[in-house]
Structure 1
Amino acid sequence: MSAAAARGTRVAQGAVVLMPAGLMLFLGAWGIRRQDAMWRDEAVTYDMAHRGLADLWQTLQHVDVVHGLYYLLMHLWFAGYDATLRGAFGDAVGLRLPSVGAMTVAAAGVALLGQRLVGRRAGLLAGLTFALIPVVQQYAQEGRSYATVCALVVWATYLLVSAASRPRKGLWAGYTALMLAACLLHEFACLALPAHGAAVVLARLPRRVRRAWLLASATVLAGLAPLAVFSTRQSAQISWLMWPDPLQLLTFAVLAALGIACARVRIRSRGPIGLRALGIPLLLLPTLLLLLLSHVEPAYVDRYVLYYVVGFALLAGAALARLLRPAGERGQTRGRRLRRATAVALLPAALLPVNVHLRSPDSRVDDVTEVAHAVRAMAEPGDGLLFMPSRRRIWRATLPHEFRGLHDLALAKSPLASHTLYGTERSGDAIRARMLTARRIVVAGDPDDQPADDSDQEIAKRSTLRAAFELCGSREVRGARVMVYGRAGACGGSGGR
């Protein structure tokens, strides 16, 4: 091969990785601030990451141990970010940059995986497809662990495919380490193991490769077991989960149907593990297994198995590579190729409204920043303050100064002092007595369409407001309702809207 040809090959190989990674980086950076809005789960990350290590450890004994490793990593990240970049970019950017980086690495891994399974063109299109999927862009801009888990599963899958071709102890050790890290970041990453196992079985790999995969999987599960056992003590944290969200199910159903359709395109795979043997199980099994588990105990949220989209991207990339092969290849006229290329190019344009929406505050269930500003606008110094229900106290975690001068009437111990996410509250009788000493109370609560908690504390709050106070004004904000209540004659200048 001439020097020029070798240089061209290197450029082409580099483009397979750099183009999807560059697109993912651009899409991750586009609108990352989201008007400085954060939603409640991101507020939890921000709060936990800014606690001292001793306080973080104590909190994990009571709550959120399943996210403990992620909070530790974010604590270390913010230690550097706050000292160097926070003044220029703000909290929201710092919270989301690690996820942007993780998804960029994931897009590069998907491209390399597609190249190894099928070829260079399929890898490039798989990486680009991955970056353009709306749900990928959503979690690339979210301060939670799901993007990092997805990246780890992608690269673990790449090592699995590599080890199947050339079994080496180093590759199996790397696969084990990456899968264990993914599972420790989020337990449901373990549902990628059955998908990998199905690929190993369907590919009819040699017995020594099957044994090596079984040993690696057993090591991962053994490493995860202590965390899984301990986390069962905190299972009440996901008691809010009910039957899966219809929109999330529809997203999975659409991608699954499209992925299976792409798998029907005639594709020649490279290596011992074929594209279909890996792509279809990775697309279907994690979600189906989580749905099956949800029949025993509700546990399905699409982000828990976000990595299923990797299976779709691999299948779609290979199908597109086949459909868009250069003119002159068998069965591919210039006109047919142009029509297909035009149809494919229109897909990102069709998704543009969805992608724009994902970068607005309205794309999440609530906006803690808007709630905090609404409280400050409606409150007067010395007002009482209630969160209804108590877990909405997380709304004050990122902007505590907006609540300064207000008296949290229900709070017994702060989140930090009690080593909890939301603090601990007084008894219902104690809350009622403290409410009756207040002239005005600002209530930050759920919208009217949300079910009311039936704890003694929440019943005491609602009954006392009805019996002894009148509504002075209210303001609807994204995912919340901020209200001002006053005793008779106290509503005069509340300015509620």
Structure 2
Amino acid sequence: MTGLLERETRSIPIVTPSRRTPIEVLDAVSRHRAFAPLTVGAVALLVSLIGITRPSLWYDEAATVTATTRSWAQLWDMLQTVDAVHALYYFIIHAVFELVGYSPLALRAPSAIAVGAAAALIVLLAREFRRPTLGVIAGLVFAILPRTIWMGGEGRSFALSTALAVLVTLLLVRAVSRPSTRLWIVYAVVVVFSCVLFVYVALVVVAHAITMAVWWLRRPPALRGTVLRDWVIAAGSATLVLSPFILFVRSQAAQVQWIPEISKRTLDYVFVKQFFFDSEPFAWVGWILLAVGAVALLRTAASRSLAAVLLPVLVVPSIILLGITAFTDMDLYSPRYVALTMPFVALTIGAAIDWLPRRRLAVLAIAALLGLAIPQLGELREVEAKQNTAWSMVADTVGAERALDAPGTTTAIIWGNLKRHPLATARVVSYAYPAAFEGTVDVTLETPAAESYRLWEKRGKLAEHLDRLDGAEVTYLITSITRDRRPATTEFLEAEGFRLVSSETMADLNVLRFERR
């Protein structure tokens, strides 16, 4: 036996270049050890970069911005009260901003790069089982899955944790097939790093326990104890190191009270949103291919070793989160929290495509996925794609109007409510797009976010801060379309000598401009 993992070999047909089908081109690409992962990774990166700055930032991304644009000391102070679960990600993005400055592109580009890295790692993982063509197919499928497109343009940790989920799985396979103390140490270290970045990566390690159990049962008795023992030591050591962090994060669990309980909508979350975002047609095709892929992986003894890796990671995170949400008082399941399973979804779908008996059917399957992905990419790159926000439009409007004002004009901003998010205010727009609001007077601000030890600033009542309007020639009210503050604010401003000159509604925000009479 050359290794602890059973391998599946596959012959690659030799054809003339002029007659190659797309699948045969992928066969040819897969032969190149460095070219294949680099090419697939580059394609995934490019897909994620298409229109990446067009969608307006939204609440979660604004949280990243307000956390990471404060000083290191202020960020550390904030993490003592909220968002410790995102601490490592915030440190990474803070470093990026210090290097290149803040912009929506700088915020989202790390996620696009992480998607590219994950796609390349998918190729390497499949290669461990001598399935290079599967790796190339799966890497390209991964790039166009709706949930992947979403996280590749999201200024949060989902894409980075997804890349780490593939990496830690690749390290597991290598440590089992080529046992060495060094590899097991690297595995444990990467597990710790991954879980600190996003604690839900621990669910991948739980899935690895099932993988190890399956392999242990299929191995000769002489090999069972050593391999299983090494994994238990590595995983156990990582758990021990992570325990204080997990307990501290658990103490801040109140911040995820927004996660809904199990309901009728949960079926839609599982069937559509967790893998396929908002595309129900993609979900139907995707689940059919997932079923076919699972059968393909289980059909032979050789491919079952790969199935033992893919299928547990594919289903275990969702099952655990749904179970905890259903049977305890902790609501932990959210479709985006299982985004880290997307590489394993892609590999299973890729196994279905690679197994199709006729290459024409495989080409049709890829064409169908691409045809479904293109409109989804278009929808995910609309300005209002993220929770129906249009903050970039608000900033552009205010910036354009201010540019027409006379030099030296003093502009005040009254930031009102924010839809769905009672702890924040519409000032999230200025965190996301600060240039449009540079030099303005924040009328109701009491404690800036960076000094509040929390994500968001502390505010007072408008009636208590009307003196800040002294000297202002222009005042804007930017507020949610819910909990309408326009009548009361207009009354206050008219009493201070302002008149309403324009009012616009942009997605979930009202933008009113007042000028002094």
TM score, norm. by length of structure 1: 0.80
Residues 289 and 376 of structure 1: is their aligned pair in 2 closer, same or farther, counting only changes over 3 Å?
same
> Is the counterpart of residue 17 in structure 1 residue 51 in structure 2?
no
User: Offset of 1:236 from its aligned partner?
Assistant: 2.8
User: Which of residues 296, 303, 310 in structure 1 aligns to 2:343?
Assistant: 310
CA distance in 1, matches of 2:367, 2:287: 21
Match of 2:201 in 1: 189
CA distance in 2, matches of 1:264, 1:463: 62
Match of 2:364 in 1: 342
CA distance in 2, matches of 1:320, 1:287: 24
> Is the counterpart of residue 359 in structure 1 residue 381 in structure 2?
yes
Residues 240 and 371 of structure 1: is their aligned pair in 2 closer, same or farther, counting only changes over 3 Å?
farther
User: Offset of 1:92 from its aligned partner?
Assistant: 2.0
Match of 1:140 in 2: 152
User: Offset of 1:158 from its aligned partner?
Assistant: 0.7
Tell me if structure 1 keeps the 8 A contact 2:29–2:36: no
User: Which of residues 261, 273, 276 in structure 1 aligns to 2:307?
Assistant: 276
Tell me if structure 1 keeps the 8 A contact 2:118–2:343: no
User: Which of residues 173, 177, 182 in structure 1 aligns to 2:189?
Assistant: 177
Tell me if structure 2 keeps the 8 A contact 1:445–1:482: yes
Match of 1:369 in 2: 392
Match of 1:85 in 2: none
Match of 2:89 in 1: 70
Residues 444 and 28 of structure 1: is their aligned pair in 2 closer, same or farther, counting only changes over 3 Å?
same
Task: In structure 1, give the amino acid aligned to 2:434.
Answer: P
User: Offset of 1:154 from its aligned partner?
Assistant: 0.2
Q: Secondary structure at the match of 1:300?
A: coil
Tell me if structure 1 keeps the 8 A contact 2:290–2:352: no
Q: Secondary structure at the match of 1:242?
A: coil
Residues 447 and 243 of structure 1: is their aligned pair in 2 closer, same or farther, counting only changes over 3 Å?
farther
Question: Which structure 1 residue ranges, 5 or more long, are not aligned?
Answer: 83-89, 324-331, 453-457, 493-497
Larger RCO: 1 or 2 (CA < 8 Å, sep 6+)? 2
CA distance in 2, matches of 1:68, 1:139: 19
Match of 1:425 in 2: 459
Aligned length: 449
CA distance in 2, matches of 1:47, 1:468: 30
Task: In structure 2, give the amino acid aligned to 1:52.
Answer: S
Match of 1:211 in 2: 229
CA deviations on 1:369-401 (whole Å, 9 max, x unpaired) are 223334556788454503314503322113334
User: Offset of 1:444 from its aligned partner?
Assistant: 2.7
Match of 2:210 in 1: 198
Residues 425 and 252 of structure 1: is their aligned pair in 2 closer, same or farther, counting only changes over 3 Å?
closer
Query: Please, which moves more after superposition, 138-147 or 117-126?
Result: 117-126
Match of 1:110 in 2: 122
Task: In structure 2, give the amino acid aligned to 1:153.
Answer: A
Residues 189 and 409 of structure 1: is their aligned pair in 2 closer, same or farther, counting only changes over 3 Å?
same
Tell me if structure 1 keeps the 8 A contact 2:396–2:436: yes
Query: Please, which moves more after superposition, 354-363 or 251-260?
Result: 251-260
RMSD, aligned α-carbons: 3.2
Task: In structure 2, give the amino acid aligned to 1:217.
Answer: A
CA distance in 1, matches of 2:301, 2:172: 16
Tell me if structure 2 keeps the 8 A contact 1:281–1:311: no
Tell me if structure 2 keeps the 8 A contact 1:129–1:317: yes
CA deviations on 1:105-126 (whole Å, 9 max, x unpaired) are 1111111212223512222212
TM score, norm. by length of structure 2: 0.77
User: Which of residues 133, 140, 150 in structure 2 aligns to 1:128?
Assistant: 140
Match of 1:286 in 2: 317
CA distance in 2, matches of 1:283, 1:144: 22
Tell me if structure 2 keeps the 8 A contact 1:370–1:478: no
Residues 170 and 479 of structure 1: is their aligned pair in 2 closer, same or farther, counting only changes over 3 Å?
farther
CA deviations on 1:28-86 (whole Å, 9 max, x unpaired) are 22222226x3223223323332322112111212222111111111122222223xxxx
CA distance in 1, matches of 2:428, 2:192: 30
CA distance in 2, matches of 1:370, 1:446: 14
User: Which of residues 36, 57, 75 in structure 1 aligns to 2:76?
Assistant: 57
Tell me if structure 1 keeps the 8 A contact 2:74–2:453: yes
> Is the counterpart of residue 157 in structure 1 residue 169 in structure 2?
yes
CA deviations on 1:159-198 (whole Å, 9 max, x unpaired) are 1112222221122112111121111011111111221111
Task: In structure 2, give the amino acid aligned to 1:403.
Answer: F
Match of 1:32 in 2: 52
1:434-453 residue pairs with structure 2 within 5 A?
434=465, 442-448=476-482
CA distance in 1, matches of 2:50, 2:74: 35
Match of 1:87 in 2: none
Identity %: 27
Tell me if structure 2 keeps the 8 A contact 1:99–1:143: yes
Residues 320 and 79 of structure 1: is their aligned pair in 2 closer, same or farther, counting only changes over 3 Å?
same
> Is the counterpart of residue 477 in structure 1 residue 482 in structure 2?
no
1:253-268 residue pairs with structure 2 within 5 A?
254=283, 255=286, 258-265=289-296, 267-268=299-300
Q: Secondary structure at the match of 2:446?
A: strand
> Is the counterpart of residue 301 in structure 1 residue 330 in structure 2?
no
Tell me if structure 2 keeps the 8 A contact 1:411–1:424: yes
User: Which of residues 351, 355, 379 in structure 2 aligns to 1:322?
Assistant: 355
CA distance in 1, matches of 2:236, 2:65: 34
CA distance in 2, matches of 1:412, 1:127: 50
Tell me if structure 1 keeps the 8 A contact 2:40–2:139: yes
Residues 464 and 224 of structure 1: is their aligned pair in 2 closer, same or farther, counting only changes over 3 Å?
farther
